[in-house]
A and B are shown apart, each in its own frame.
Chain A
Amino acid sequence: DAGVIQSPRHEVTEMGQEVTLRCKPISGHDYLFWYRQTMMRGLELLIYFNNNVPIDDSGMPEDRFSAKMPNASFSTLKIQPSEPRDSAVYFCASSLAVTGRNFGPGTRLLVL
Protein backbone atom coordinates (compact mmCIF):
# COMPACT_ATOMS: atom_id res chain seq x y z
CA ASP A 1 0.00 0.00 0.00
CA ALA A 2 1.39 3.38 -1.00
CA GLY A 3 -0.19 5.15 1.95
CA VAL A 4 -1.95 8.48 1.71
CA ILE A 5 -0.82 10.39 -1.36
CA GLN A 6 -0.82 14.16 -1.53
CA SER A 7 -0.01 16.51 -4.35
CA PRO A 8 1.67 18.81 -4.91
CA ARG A 9 4.31 18.36 -2.23
CA HIS A 10 5.29 22.02 -2.47
CA GLU A 11 3.35 24.99 -3.75
CA VAL A 12 4.47 28.60 -4.02
CA THR A 13 1.88 31.06 -5.20
CA GLU A 14 1.05 34.73 -5.09
CA MET A 15 -1.60 36.31 -2.93
CA GLY A 16 -4.98 36.22 -4.62
CA GLN A 17 -4.35 33.08 -6.62
CA GLU A 18 -6.41 29.92 -6.31
CA VAL A 19 -4.69 26.93 -4.72
CA THR A 20 -5.91 23.35 -5.01
CA LEU A 21 -4.45 20.61 -2.84
CA ARG A 22 -5.15 16.98 -3.66
CA CYS A 23 -5.35 13.81 -1.64
CA LYS A 24 -5.76 10.13 -2.36
CA PRO A 25 -6.62 8.20 0.82
CA ILE A 26 -5.67 4.62 1.57
CA SER A 27 -7.97 2.26 -0.27
CA GLY A 28 -10.77 1.01 1.95
CA HIS A 29 -10.53 3.81 4.49
CA ASP A 30 -13.86 5.51 4.96
CA TYR A 31 -12.70 8.59 6.88
CA LEU A 32 -10.67 11.41 5.37
CA PHE A 33 -9.28 14.39 7.24
CA TRP A 34 -7.67 17.67 6.25
CA TYR A 35 -5.30 19.27 8.76
CA ARG A 36 -3.21 22.43 8.74
CA GLN A 37 0.04 22.74 10.68
CA THR A 38 1.75 26.02 11.53
CA MET A 39 4.27 27.08 14.12
CA MET A 40 1.70 29.48 15.57
CA ARG A 41 -1.20 27.06 16.01
CA GLY A 42 0.21 23.57 15.76
CA LEU A 43 -1.90 20.87 14.09
CA GLU A 44 -5.49 21.94 13.42
CA LEU A 45 -8.32 19.86 12.03
CA LEU A 46 -10.00 21.70 9.18
CA ILE A 47 -12.64 19.24 7.99
CA TYR A 48 -13.34 15.54 7.84
CA PHE A 49 -15.44 13.26 5.66
CA ASN A 50 -17.07 9.92 6.28
CA ASN A 51 -18.01 7.88 3.22
CA ASN A 52 -17.39 10.98 1.06
CA VAL A 53 -19.80 13.12 3.09
CA PRO A 54 -18.48 16.15 5.03
CA ILE A 55 -19.18 15.56 8.72
CA ASP A 56 -17.52 18.46 10.51
CA ASP A 57 -16.17 21.55 8.79
CA SER A 58 -16.08 23.76 11.88
CA GLY A 59 -12.31 24.03 11.59
CA MET A 60 -12.38 25.61 8.14
CA PRO A 61 -11.02 29.11 8.68
CA GLU A 62 -13.37 31.02 6.43
CA ASP A 63 -15.30 30.95 3.19
CA ARG A 64 -12.11 31.13 1.17
CA PHE A 65 -11.55 27.48 2.08
CA SER A 66 -13.58 24.67 0.57
CA ALA A 67 -13.15 20.91 0.44
CA LYS A 68 -14.73 18.23 -1.67
CA MET A 69 -14.67 14.47 -1.85
CA PRO A 70 -16.30 13.42 -5.13
CA ASN A 71 -15.46 9.75 -4.60
CA ALA A 72 -13.83 7.40 -2.13
CA SER A 73 -10.39 7.76 -3.65
CA PHE A 74 -10.00 11.50 -4.08
CA SER A 75 -10.40 14.74 -2.16
CA THR A 76 -9.46 18.36 -2.77
CA LEU A 77 -8.90 21.33 -0.50
CA LYS A 78 -9.22 24.63 -2.30
CA ILE A 79 -8.23 28.12 -1.17
CA GLN A 80 -9.59 30.98 -3.22
CA PRO A 81 -8.27 33.62 -3.01
CA SER A 82 -5.13 32.67 -1.14
CA GLU A 83 -3.51 34.98 1.42
CA PRO A 84 -0.02 35.00 2.99
CA ARG A 85 -1.49 33.84 6.33
CA ASP A 86 -2.58 30.62 4.62
CA SER A 87 1.07 29.58 4.37
CA ALA A 88 1.37 26.28 6.23
CA VAL A 89 1.79 22.57 5.78
CA TYR A 90 -1.50 20.92 4.86
CA PHE A 91 -1.92 17.26 5.72
CA CYS A 92 -4.48 14.80 4.51
CA ALA A 93 -5.11 11.71 6.62
CA SER A 94 -7.36 8.71 6.30
CA SER A 95 -8.58 5.99 8.63
CA LEU A 96 -11.05 3.26 9.22
CA ALA A 97 -13.50 4.18 11.93
CA VAL A 98 -11.91 4.59 15.37
CA THR A 99 -8.38 3.63 14.35
CA GLY A 100 -5.31 5.85 14.26
CA ARG A 101 -5.09 8.16 11.34
CA ASN A 102 -2.63 7.56 8.52
CA PHE A 103 -1.18 10.89 7.49
CA GLY A 104 0.13 11.81 4.08
CA PRO A 105 3.48 13.55 3.58
CA GLY A 106 1.84 16.98 3.47
CA THR A 107 1.79 19.90 1.05
CA ARG A 108 3.98 22.85 1.98
CA LEU A 109 2.18 25.97 0.85
CA LEU A 110 3.81 29.37 0.65
CA VAL A 111 1.68 32.33 -0.34
CA LEU A 112 3.72 35.40 -1.21
Chain B
Amino acid sequence: DIQMTQSPSSLSASVGDRVTITCRASQSISSYLNWYQQRPGKPPKLLIYTASNLHSGVPSRFSGRGSGTDFTLTISSLQPEDFAIYYCQQSFSTPRTFGQGTKVEIK
Protein backbone atom coordinates (compact mmCIF):
# COMPACT_ATOMS: atom_id res chain seq x y z
CA ASP B 1 0.00 0.00 0.00
CA ILE B 2 1.13 3.57 -0.64
CA GLN B 3 1.36 5.50 2.61
CA MET B 4 0.44 9.18 2.57
CA THR B 5 1.92 11.41 5.27
CA GLN B 6 0.71 14.94 5.86
CA SER B 7 2.40 17.71 7.78
CA PRO B 8 1.68 19.40 9.97
CA SER B 9 -1.07 17.42 11.70
CA SER B 10 -2.59 20.70 12.82
CA LEU B 11 -1.92 24.39 12.54
CA SER B 12 -3.31 27.62 13.88
CA ALA B 13 -3.72 30.56 11.58
CA SER B 14 -5.58 33.84 11.27
CA VAL B 15 -8.00 35.04 8.65
CA GLY B 16 -5.98 36.40 5.75
CA ASP B 17 -2.94 34.21 6.40
CA ARG B 18 -1.27 32.14 3.70
CA VAL B 19 -1.29 28.48 4.68
CA THR B 20 0.61 25.57 3.16
CA ILE B 21 0.01 21.88 3.89
CA THR B 22 2.41 19.18 2.73
CA CYS B 23 1.66 15.63 1.67
CA ARG B 24 4.35 13.02 1.03
CA ALA B 25 3.80 9.66 -0.64
CA SER B 26 5.83 6.58 0.31
CA GLN B 27 6.62 6.02 -3.39
CA SER B 28 6.22 8.01 -6.56
CA ILE B 29 2.60 8.59 -7.55
CA SER B 30 3.28 10.87 -10.54
CA SER B 31 0.57 13.55 -10.27
CA TYR B 32 -2.18 11.25 -9.00
CA LEU B 33 -2.87 13.28 -5.90
CA ASN B 34 -6.15 14.84 -4.77
CA TRP B 35 -7.01 17.18 -1.92
CA TYR B 36 -10.25 17.26 0.06
CA GLN B 37 -11.70 19.57 2.71
CA GLN B 38 -13.87 18.22 5.50
CA ARG B 39 -15.88 20.45 7.78
CA PRO B 40 -17.29 19.05 11.07
CA GLY B 41 -20.17 16.65 10.54
CA LYS B 42 -19.90 16.84 6.76
CA PRO B 43 -18.47 14.56 4.09
CA PRO B 44 -15.19 15.47 2.42
CA LYS B 45 -15.36 17.86 -0.49
CA LEU B 46 -13.00 17.68 -3.47
CA LEU B 47 -10.78 20.76 -3.84
CA ILE B 48 -7.88 19.84 -6.11
CA TYR B 49 -7.39 16.86 -8.42
CA THR B 50 -4.35 15.51 -10.20
CA ALA B 51 -2.10 17.60 -7.98
CA SER B 52 -2.88 21.03 -9.37
CA ASN B 53 -6.30 21.16 -11.01
CA LEU B 54 -8.96 23.21 -9.24
CA HIS B 55 -12.27 21.36 -9.03
CA SER B 56 -15.33 23.15 -10.36
CA GLY B 57 -16.70 25.76 -7.96
CA VAL B 58 -13.66 25.79 -5.66
CA PRO B 59 -12.34 29.30 -4.89
CA SER B 60 -9.12 30.29 -6.61
CA ARG B 61 -7.38 30.94 -3.27
CA PHE B 62 -6.82 27.17 -3.17
CA SER B 63 -3.93 25.82 -5.21
CA GLY B 64 -1.92 22.63 -5.40
CA ARG B 65 1.41 21.62 -6.77
CA GLY B 66 3.87 18.79 -6.80
CA SER B 67 4.65 15.50 -8.47
CA GLY B 68 6.40 12.26 -7.64
CA THR B 69 6.33 12.01 -3.85
CA ASP B 70 5.98 15.60 -2.59
CA PHE B 71 2.88 17.75 -2.84
CA THR B 72 1.51 20.93 -1.31
CA LEU B 73 -1.88 22.53 -0.86
CA THR B 74 -1.82 26.29 -0.39
CA ILE B 75 -4.59 28.61 0.72
CA SER B 76 -3.47 32.07 -0.33
CA SER B 77 -5.68 34.06 2.06
CA LEU B 78 -7.45 32.04 4.73
CA GLN B 79 -11.17 32.72 5.05
CA PRO B 80 -13.44 31.85 8.02
CA GLU B 81 -15.06 29.01 6.09
CA ASP B 82 -11.64 27.41 5.45
CA PHE B 83 -11.19 26.25 9.02
CA ALA B 84 -11.54 22.52 8.51
CA ILE B 85 -9.54 19.31 8.11
CA TYR B 86 -7.71 18.74 4.84
CA TYR B 87 -6.85 15.34 3.42
CA CYS B 88 -4.65 14.27 0.56
CA GLN B 89 -5.46 11.05 -1.35
CA GLN B 90 -3.50 9.10 -3.94
CA SER B 91 -5.13 7.73 -7.07
CA PHE B 92 -2.03 5.99 -8.41
CA SER B 93 -2.84 2.51 -7.20
CA THR B 94 -5.25 0.34 -5.29
CA PRO B 95 -5.92 0.47 -2.41
CA ARG B 96 -6.67 4.17 -2.60
CA THR B 97 -5.18 5.75 0.50
CA PHE B 98 -5.56 9.04 2.33
CA GLY B 99 -3.28 11.12 4.47
CA GLN B 100 -4.08 11.34 8.16
CA GLY B 101 -5.42 14.88 7.79
CA THR B 102 -4.32 18.39 8.70
CA LYS B 103 -6.60 20.38 10.96
CA VAL B 104 -6.59 24.12 10.28
CA GLU B 105 -7.72 25.99 13.37
CA ILE B 106 -8.38 29.62 14.18
CA LYS B 107 -5.55 31.39 16.00
> Do these two chains really belong together in a complex?
no
Which A residues are closer than 8 A to B by beta carbons? none
